[in-house]
A and B are shown apart, each in its own frame.
Chain A
Amino acid sequence: EAGVTQSPTHLIKTRGQQATLRCSPISGHTSVYWYQQALGLGLQFLLWYDEGEERNRGNFPPRFSGRQFPNYSSELNVNALELEDSALYLCASSWGTAIAYEQYFGPGTRLTVT
C-alpha cells in the first residue's frame, strides 16, 4: 500500500511569489491535514480537509489556503511568500474524522523562500 506522497520534494521561491504544494493521501483516506515545521517554531497545524470541506484551520494568515479535490488529494497554496515561510510542510491523511484514527504523514515538501 502506497503511503502519503507529496510533491515537489523541494521548492525554491522568491519573496512575494506564490507556492503550490501537493499531497496525495493513502487510498481510502478522506481526511488530509497540513502542518508546518519551521526552524525554531516546531510543528504547527495549518489546515484540515475532509470530504472536500475545510474542517479546521490553524493560526495562520489568509495567504495560506488550500483545497481538497474529489479524489481526496489536496493542494496547499501560499501567496505573497515571506522569508519566514521557509519550512518543511508536512501532509498527513487519516481514514476518517475521529481523532482516534492515526494520521499518516508524508515525507514533506521543503520550501525555501529567498
Chain B
Amino acid sequence: AQSVTQLGSHVSVSEGALVLLRCNYSSSVPPYLFWYVQYPNQGLQLLLKYTTGATLVKGINGFEAEFKKSETSFHLTKPSAHMSDAAEYFCAVSRGGGYNKLIFGAGTRLAVHP
C-alpha cells in the first residue's frame, strides 16, 4: 500500500525566507511523486513531479524537490518566499501501471508574513 505523510499542517515563513515543506512516502514499488498547490476556492495546480531520472526536480514558480530513496522523502523547497506563495500544498504518490490514482498527503498550509 502507498501512503504520504506531510510533516506540519501549518508552516509560517517571512517573505524572502527559505520555504521547506516536508513529505515522506511509503511505497512497495518505485513511486511517482508529485507536489500540487491549491489556492483558496480553486482546484489543484501541479508544481512539479518525479517519475524517473534526475532526482532533483525543478518546478514552476521557483520551487524544487529532491527525491531521496534512502530517506523515502520528497521535500519541497523554495529559496525565497513571496507573499503570493501563501496557499495549501499537497504531496502525492502514485504507482502508475494502470493504478493512476493519486494518493495525497493531508496538506500543508503555508503562510507568508511581510
Contacts and interface: CB of A to CB of B under 8 A. Distances in A.
Whether chain B is bound by chain A comes out as yes
Nearest to B49: A102
Nearest to B106: A42
A105 B96 contact: no
Contacts of A92: 43-44
Interface residues of B, number: 26
Interface stretch (A14-22, A66-74, A77-85, A93-101): A93-101
B96 A98 contact: yes
A95 B90 CA distance: 22
A102 B44 contact: no
Interface of B: 32, 36, 41-46, 49, 51, 90, 92, 94-107
27 contacts: A31-B100, A33-B100, A33-B101, A42-B106, A43-B90, A43-B92, A43-B107, A48-B100, A56-B99, A56-B101, A92-B43, A94-B100, A97-B98, A97-B100, A98-B96, A99-B32, A99-B51, A99-B96, A100-B49, A100-B51, A100-B96, A102-B46, A105-B36, A105-B43, A105-B45, A107-B41, A108-B43
